[in-house]
């Protein structure tokens, strides 16, 4: 047996030659370890190596398409999400085609969004709060926390801001607006304080608590606008507060059509957060926390502080969104202040996937859906249809995350038959190595042969592992 092996080796490669690392066969990214020889890793050579080593040419088959499971990929996920957005828009379009006269609707949508200057400002009004409420979901989401109560925080901010406006009505101009924005942030933050503290200290599910507060805040605002701040002239149970003092109205930008300056503020805040969360220590902490709170605890990071800060900041952002809507658009506190903005923010944040630019893009897309929805409502399409679309979007985007784990790539594979042959050959080589070890060796040549055989057996055992791994993947 010993002789036989030696003879074949001389024929093939010469005594003492080294062998390619098996991991490199068919895998150009890995390099052979410690063998000295740099193996040329083209596929054809791999086949040749295989043949040289084991006398099996068919071990490595031709290239074929395979679905490879791996890590989730941000890019592919984003692509899939855009695709899912398109699917949902198609569904909505089909529904509209079946129910209403499309040219009418489209014409009106264009009028009310991009077509005219006034329409563009309407569109900005829809998009402005969405950016902020989406950010209010996105910031805690980095830590794996769901702030679902954006709607309630929106109203809490608007409520406290109107309180400040009514209380400080002798003031005018910029200072009052600044005070109101601060009050809005504080109001939203107060609204989220209970869920944040309960989550940080007692690990109470923040989804339920923030949503419960959200439902409660609606009645709280109802009380103020039907009682103390009621707008006297409105008749018949219309829930509206008095107008806030004209000095606190946010001026429109000096552009044709008058886009309100709230849009600028909102865009600015999103950008600041986008930069800050990428380049500052706080952003780093939140990214770390997002990859696992246990890891953070191990690294000695202040998790409670991070959880509470993220939630309070989120509440503040939603509160500012409500305040902006109050001072720039409606100028009075009404239930119609929000266009389900808080809930839609969840969808935008999920679709955007923790990217500030994504929030802007997806915010605009969702605002466009809202604009179409508002027009379609005139034609009898139910307003809640928007929720169905958002639900489908969430569903498709979560599927996109899963699908992004898979890649369809073309690469060489080892067929079942080839793998079986390699396995057989490898086993015989291993047993050969064992035989030699057991043999008493005296001569140089034989010692060399032993070394070679040991080397081969190592290679072969790795080959068996590789072959099993490959055939296991199939």
Chain residues that interact with other proteins, rule: CB under 8 A: 146, 194-195, 198, 202-205, 207-209, 211-213, 215-216, 219-220, 222-223, 226-227, 343, 346-347, 350, 382, 384-392, 394-395, 397-399, 401-402
How buried is residue 75: exposed, middle or buried, by Cβ count under 10 Å (0-12/13-18/19+)? exposed
Hey, is 66 helix, strand or coil?
Answer: strand
- In the complex with other proteins, which residue's Cβ is closer, 39 or 194? 194
Nearer to other proteins, 38 or 295 (CB): 295
Q: What is the crossing angle of helices 2-12 and 444-473, to 10°? A: 80
Residue placing its CB nearer to other proteins in the complex, 239 or 364 = 239
Find, among 438, 105, 152, the residue nearest to 319 by Cα: 152
| Smallest distance from other proteins to CB 404, Å | 11
User: How far is residue 389's CA from residue 431's CA, in Å, rounded to a whole number?
Assistant: 64
Nearest distance in Å: CB 389, other proteins: 8
Nearer Cβ to other proteins (215/276): 215
Angle at 139 between CA 151 and CA 82, to 5 degrees: 85
Q: What is the largest CA-CA distance in the chain?
A: 113
In whole angstroms, the minimum distance from the beta carbon of 150 to other proteins comes to 13
For residues 288 and 207, what is the distance between their CA atoms, to the nearest angstrom?
22
Residue 53 vs 141, nearer CB to other proteins: 141
Closer by beta carbon to other proteins, 194 or else 361: 194
SS3 260: strand
- Number of helices and strands (H, E) in the chain? 17, 2
**How many residues appear in the chain?**
474
**DSSP string of 325-364?**
HIIIIISB--GGG-SSHHHHHHHHHHHHTS-HHHHHHHHH
Q: How far apart are CA 308 and CA 316, in angstroms?
A: 12
Please give the Cα distance from 367 to 184 (Å, whole number).
23
Q: Are 337 and 330 in contact (CB under 8 A)?
A: yes
Q: Given the complex with other proteins, which of 166 and 224 has the nearer CB atom?
A: 224
- Closest to other proteins by CB, 349 vs 449, is 349
Cα–Cα distance between 154 and 330 in angstroms, integer? 14
Comparing CB distances to other proteins, the nearer of 301 and 394 is 394
Helices (H), 67-173: 74-99, 102-110, 117-141, 150-167
Q: Minimal distance in Å, beta carbon 345 to other proteins? A: 12
The CB-of-137 to other proteins minimum distance in angstroms stands at: 11
Nearer to other proteins, 95 or 179 (CB): 95
Asked if 207 and 146 touch (Cβ cutoff 8 Å), the reply is yes
Q: How far is the CB of 364 from other proteins (least distance, A)?
A: 20
To other proteins, the closest distance from the beta carbon of 216 in angstroms equals: 4
- Output 195 or 322, the one with its CB closest to other proteins: 195
List of residues 6+ apart from 54 with CB closer than 8 A: 421, 422, 425, 426, 429, 460, 463
Q: Each residue of 3-41: b (16+ CB within 10 Å) or e?
A: eebbeebeeeeeeeeebbbbbbbbeeeeebeebeeebeb
């Amino acid at each position: 047996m010993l002789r036989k092996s030696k003879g074949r080796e001389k024929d093939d490669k010469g005594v003492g030659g080294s062998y390619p690392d098996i991991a490199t066969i068919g895998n150009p990214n890995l390099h052979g370890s410690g063998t000295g020889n740099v193996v040329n890793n083209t596929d054809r050579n791999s086949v040749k190596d295989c043949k040289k080593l084991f006398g099996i040419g068919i071990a490595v088959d031709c290239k074929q398409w395979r679905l490879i499971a791996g890590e989730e990929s941000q890019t592919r996920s984003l692509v899939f999400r855009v695709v899912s957005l398109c699917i949902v828009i198609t569904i909505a379009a089909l529904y509209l085609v079946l129910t209403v006269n499309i040219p009418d609707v489209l014409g009106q949508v264009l009028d009310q969004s991009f077509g005219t200057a006034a329409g563009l400002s309407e569109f900005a009004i829809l998009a402005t709060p969405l950016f902020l409420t989406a950010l209010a979901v996105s910031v805690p989401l980095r830590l794996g926390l769901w702030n679902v109560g954006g709607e309630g925080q929106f109203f809490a901010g608007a409520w406290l801001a109107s309180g400040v406006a009514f209380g400080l009505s002798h003031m005018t101009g910029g200072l009052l607006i600044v005070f109101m924005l601060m009050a809005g942030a504080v109001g939203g933050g107060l609204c989220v304080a209970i869920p944040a503290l309960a989550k940080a200290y007692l690990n109470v599910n923040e989804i339920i608590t923030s949503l419960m507060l959200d439902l409660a805040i609606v009645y709280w605002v109802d009380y103020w606008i039907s009682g103390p701040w009621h707008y006297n002239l409105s008749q018949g149970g219309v829930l509206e507060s008095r107008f806030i003092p004209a000095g606190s109205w946010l001026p429109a930008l000096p552009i044709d059509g008058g886009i309100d300056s709230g849009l600028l503020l909102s865009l600015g805040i999103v950008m600041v957060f986008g930069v800050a969360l990428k380049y500052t220590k706080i952003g780093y902490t939140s990214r770390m926390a997002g990859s696992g709170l246990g890891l953070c605890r191990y690294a000695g990071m202040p998790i409670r502080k991070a959880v509470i800060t993220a939630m309070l900041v989120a509440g503040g952002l939603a509160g500012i969104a409500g305040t902006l809507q109050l001072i720039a658009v409606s100028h009075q506190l009404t239930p119609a202040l929000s266009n389900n903005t808080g809930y839609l923010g969840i969808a935008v944040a999920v679709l955007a996937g923790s990217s500030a630019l994504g929030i802007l893009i997806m915010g605009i897309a969702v605002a466009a859906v809202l604009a179409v929805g508002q027009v379609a409502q005139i034609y009898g399409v139910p307003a809640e249809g928007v929720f169905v679309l958002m639900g489908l979007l969430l569903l498709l985007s979560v599927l996109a995350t899963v699908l992004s784990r898979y890649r369809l790539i073309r690469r060489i594979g080892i067929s079942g038959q080839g793998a079986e042959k390699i396995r057989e050959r490898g086993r015989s080589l291993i047993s050969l190595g064992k035989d030699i070890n057991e043999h008493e060796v005296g001569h140089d040549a034989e010692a060399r042969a032993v070394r070679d055989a040991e080397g081969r057996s190592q290679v072969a055992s790795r080959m068996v592992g590789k072959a099993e791994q490959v055939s296991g993947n199939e």
